[in-house]
Amino acid sequence: MKKKNRLPASQCSRTRITAHSTQPIVTGQCAEVLELLRTSGSILSLELPSKYAIPQYNARIHDLRSFGFNVITHILPEVEFRGRIRRNVARYSLGSPEWRPTEGTQ
């Protein structure tokens, strides 16, 4: 495969931000995860790959946090999902404020 046809290393793009800049523009799967968090309030980690076809959701959550988004993780001891009990499932939500500038992010 030629270099110009390769997928980027990250599924999200970002620009350099400084402590005095505005909220970054996110694209791709990061934008999908961010919109889900905004519209639903919270989402289970099990739902992201199964319902929304985002297999590496943990990397997208990490990317959002690196952009400065306040993603909160709550670990639930037991959750019933698709008729089975699942243990230690993460529930992601956006904190308040939703975003804060981070220094040195590229």
Query: pTM (2 decimals)?
Result: 0.75
pLDDT at position 4 is 53
pLDDT at 10 exceeding the cut of 80: no
15-37 as b/e: b if 16+ CB within 10 A: eebeeeeeebebeebbbbbbebb
pLDDT at position 6 is 47
Tens digits of per-residue pLDDT, 19-68? 546 878 888 999 999 999 999 999 999 999 999 999 999 999 999 999 98
pLDDT at 96 exceeding the cut of 90: no
Average pLDDT, the chain: 82
Report how far apart, in Å, the C-alpha atoms of 15 and of each of 23, 43, 52, 106 are.
10, 27, 26, 6
Domains and CATH numbers, the chain: 24-98 (1.10.10)
Contact 71, 61 (CB under 8 A): yes
How far out from the chain centre does Cα 95 lie?
A: 13
C-alpha 103/C-alpha 83 separation (Å) is: 44
